[in-house]
């Protein structure tokens, strides 16, 4: 199957319609990621078909799970732009902030956004637990998303402070994460949030199921959080 069909059919199976223009932008993204990945460590996944399945389609799976239209979205620990950039390509009304602790990844993201003409994307080089303490970012986002950054009880403390009361945090996890989700219940409560839904999905042609954990922010996060990273890791909430 050609790349464009893989993208369009794979997205459709997940409930998202991609235009030819969006598929072309994603193809350009795949080529740029492959080129840069040969000289810097951005992703362990190689080959455009796997980039499409395990990065692009996996990211796009989130779109039908919440109302993203016109929303401010922060992708915490975005790495090479997942899931934030594919989401913004497929839903251009998103006001996207990409945040990562590694400068070289943020440099890649800035180049990528220029290449893809994603002019409204904000790329920030910062640690989540520090950025979430700044007035410009704390409680400012309708939705926070994050994939492959930390265990859920740690990740909740890194992500939920960015979300507005009433907003959503979507954590991308493996389907065998039941224990991890249960373990994070007290963190959600302390951070002013409740578990809303656990949604499993299949990526066409990948032969795997993945999971989105949707957590609703119901109250402002207490000032004490997030704590310093060493503390978060040593004593998760």
* Shortest Cβ 70–ligand SAM spacing (Å): 23
Q: How far is the CB of 42 from ligand SAM (least distance, A)?
A: 8
Angle between helices 20-37 and 3-13 (to 10 degrees): 110
Cβ pair 139, 164 in contact under 8 A: yes
First-residue to last-residue Cα distance in the chain = 46
Q: Which listed range, 16-24, 26-34, 76-84, 212-220, lies at the site for ligand SAM (CB under 6 A)?
A: 76-84
Q: What is the chain's Cα-based Rg? A: 17
By the rule CB under 6 A, 78 interacts with ligand SAM: yes
* Smallest separation (angstroms) from ligand SAM to the CB of 226: 9
Residue 82: CB minimum distance to ligand SAM, A? 4
Q: Which stretch binds ligand SAM (CB under 6 A): 64-72, 95-103, 187-195, 202-210?
A: 95-103
Query: What letters, b where the CB count within 10 A reaches 16 and e where it falls short, cover 22-34?
Result: bbbbbbebbebbb
CA-to-CA distance for 61 and 173, rounded, in angstroms? 12
213 binding ligand SAM? (CB under 6 A): no
Q: Is 77 in the site for ligand SAM (CB under 6 A)?
A: yes
Q: Minimum CB separation from ligand SAM for residue 47, in Å?
A: 15
Q: Which of residues 106-125 bind ligand SAM (CB under 6 A)?
A: none
> Residue 91 or residue 100: which is nearer to ligand SAM going by CB?
100
C-alpha–C-alpha distance, residues 170 and 159, integer Å: 9
Nearer to ligand SAM, 27 or 78 (CB): 78
Q: Which of 158, 163, 171, 187 binds ligand SAM (CB under 6 A)?
A: 158
Indicate which single residue of 51, 61, 128, 137 sits in contact with ligand SAM (rule: CB under 6 A): 128
Give the interface size with ligand SAM as a residue count (CB under 6 A).
18
Give yes or no for residue 210 binding ligand SAM (CB under 6 A): no
In the list 22, 26, 101, 123, the residue contacting ligand SAM (rule: CB under 6 A) is: 101
Binding site for ligand SAM (CB under 6 A): 77-80, 82, 99-102, 105, 127-129, 147-149, 158, 229
């Amino acid at each position: 199957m050609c790349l464009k069909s893989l993208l369009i059919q794979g997205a459709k199976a997940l409930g998202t319609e991609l235009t030819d223009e969006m598929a072309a932008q994603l193809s350009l993204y795949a080529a740029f990621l492959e080129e840069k990945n040969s000289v810097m460590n951005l992703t362990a996944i190689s080959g455009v078909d796997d980039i499409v399945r395990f990065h692009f389609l996996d990211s796009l799976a989130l779109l039908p799970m919440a109302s993203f239209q016109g929303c401010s979205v922060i992708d915490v620990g975005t790495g090479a732009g997942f899931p934030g950039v594919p989401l913004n390509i497929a839903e251009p009304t998103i006001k996207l902030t990409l945040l990562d602790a590694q400068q070289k990844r943020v440099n890649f993201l800035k180049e990528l956004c220029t290449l893809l003409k994603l002019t409204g994307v904000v790329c920030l080089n910062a640690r989540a637990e520090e950025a979430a303490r700044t007035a410009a970012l704390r409680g400012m986002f309708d939705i926070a998303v994050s994939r492959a950054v930390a265990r859920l009880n740690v990740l909740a403390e890194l992500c939920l402070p960015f979300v507005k009361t009433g907003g959503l945090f979507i954590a991308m996890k493996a389907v065998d994460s039941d224990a991890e989700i249960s373990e994070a219940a007290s963190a959600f409560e302390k951070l002013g949030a409740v578990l809303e839904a656990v949604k499993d999905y299949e990526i066409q042609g990948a032969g795997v199921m993945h999971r989105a954990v949707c957590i609703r922010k119901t109250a402002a996060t207490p000032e004490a959080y997030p704590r310093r990273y060493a503390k978060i890791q040593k004593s998760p909430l």
